[in-house]
Structure 1
């Protein structure tokens, strides 16, 4: 990797001010994008999904834990795997204390397709306290497009078909487990799906990577 050139403090300050103008423009664009995201239409969730959790079998409404909003992180953990995805593991390591989310009427939960016993064993190993549920035997992962299996339903990831990913040179998005995040709202006793993001759409949630974006060596992803 090529390092930045060495400059005087005055040269650095001039370059930094130019970059600040671009950062401010990007922040304003992000604010406008966030407003559009909040204004997206929402879809009523009618299917009775069931999950295995620490307190037994629950439905999607129970994942809210009595709050109005629910953020689900789709953690890659195939039922046949011995361990969870290393990048998803790094993401959950970054979650930290969810008290501030809870104070804003929002619950953060993790859902994976592996059986609950595997999830709980991995959770103990990592020392996590985040609510983690198994969707094993449920359509949840397929319906929210984080498990790709053409024999179950047509493949769609990041709002593109499997064929589109193959043509784009990214066949790994056309099969198996993939990461994602989905957001839900509870209103009037009903649950609504408001947002989902996948692939690079998860970048803004990657705490460590966003810190590393501030450094000259960057993310240093393998």
Structure 2
């Protein structure tokens, strides 16, 4: 048999020997992950002093209301600014994995919700478009997103903002009307209906809170690639033969914009949408 692949070809015995060697490293990685989880849980708890307010589908709410009776709250900082016409494609790909987890977490004393700066009506419309059912609150008009490093002002962006626990260099955006940047950031901004500076005034991350004896504490936050662990498609890709295979750049988009609808509600394998991907 002839083959044109450039990848190393081996026998079953060679594969098994290499796999057992890799297994040692995978077990070490798992144990290291367990240790990191323990260290996250050992971080000091910081009382939340401000009276944060949100807009939800159930009405105006305080931070305590977002717990919905649970003692623990996980907030995904979803990039959806007031000027966006759609949610960030990367955040959307992450959120595609929330629906199933929310039910299990809620029955384990943990409430998972997304929070964005856009007005509630924009969030609910996009949520309906995506077919999502998880809780999603708007922090529009409040300080929550800014205090938890998920949103920034034009002035902060111009001067160089603090994100992911470090200071970013000043960005060379000249005028708001200019596209500003290129590559992935520009493509994502275009998908969201804004220019790059406007897009980058929102940032991804997640924060954890606990409520005990009437006091809410902030326990953990992570940003940037710190959310890779909750991006469901990446653990799968990391186990695929070609890995993430992203040398060509951005490949993902909002799930209703793919030509193939495999895995989407009401679809069959290889079914094509005649509406260009929009429902």
TM-score, normalised via structure 2 length? 0.73
Deviations, residues 56-112 of structure 1 (Å, cap 9, x unaligned): 110000000010000000100010111110011111111132221112100000100
In the aligned structure 2, how far is the partner of 1:38 from the partner of 1:205? 17
Q: Which of 14, 21, 25 is matched with 2:24 structurally?
A: 21
Q: Partner residue of 2:271? A: none
The partner residue of 1:53 within 56, 71, 75 is 56
SS at match of 1:177: coil
Corresponding residue of 2:226: 201
Where relative contact order (Cα < 8 A, 6+ residues apart) is larger, the structure is 1
Q: Name the residue aligned to 1:81.
A: 84
Alignment partners' CA distance in 2, 1:131 and 1:59: 14
| 5+ residue gaps, structure 2 | 173-184, 186-196, 251-279
Q: Across the two proteins, how many residue pairs are aligned to each other?
A: 216
Give the aligned partner of residue 43 of structure 2.
40
Contact 1:3 1:216 in 2 (8 A): no
Moved over 4 A (4+): none
Q: 1:142 to 1:217 in 2, by over 3 A?
A: same
Are the aligned partners of 1:149 and 1:155 in contact in 2 as well (CA < 8 Å)? no
Q: What corresponds to 2:165 in structure 1?
A: 159
Q: Which one of 222, 228, 245 corresponds to residue 220 of structure 1?
A: 245
For the structure 1 residues 23 and 129, does the alpha-carbon distance in structure 2 shift closer, same or farther, using more than 3 Å as the test?
A: same
Query: Where does structure 1 lack aligned partners over 5 or more consecutive residues?
Result: 167-171
Which residue is equivalent to 1:66? 69
Describe the SS at the equivalent of 2:54: strand
Deviation (angstroms), 1:146? 1.1
Instruction: Tell me the alpha carbon deviations over residues 117-156 of structure 1, each in whole angstroms, 9 at most, x when there is no partner.
Output: 0001001111110111100111111100011226369721
Q: Distance in 2 between matches of 1:191 and 1:163?
A: 33
Q: Matched residues in 1 for 2:66 and 2:107: separation?
A: 16
> Does the 8 Å CA contact 2:99/2:133 hold for their aligned counterparts?
no
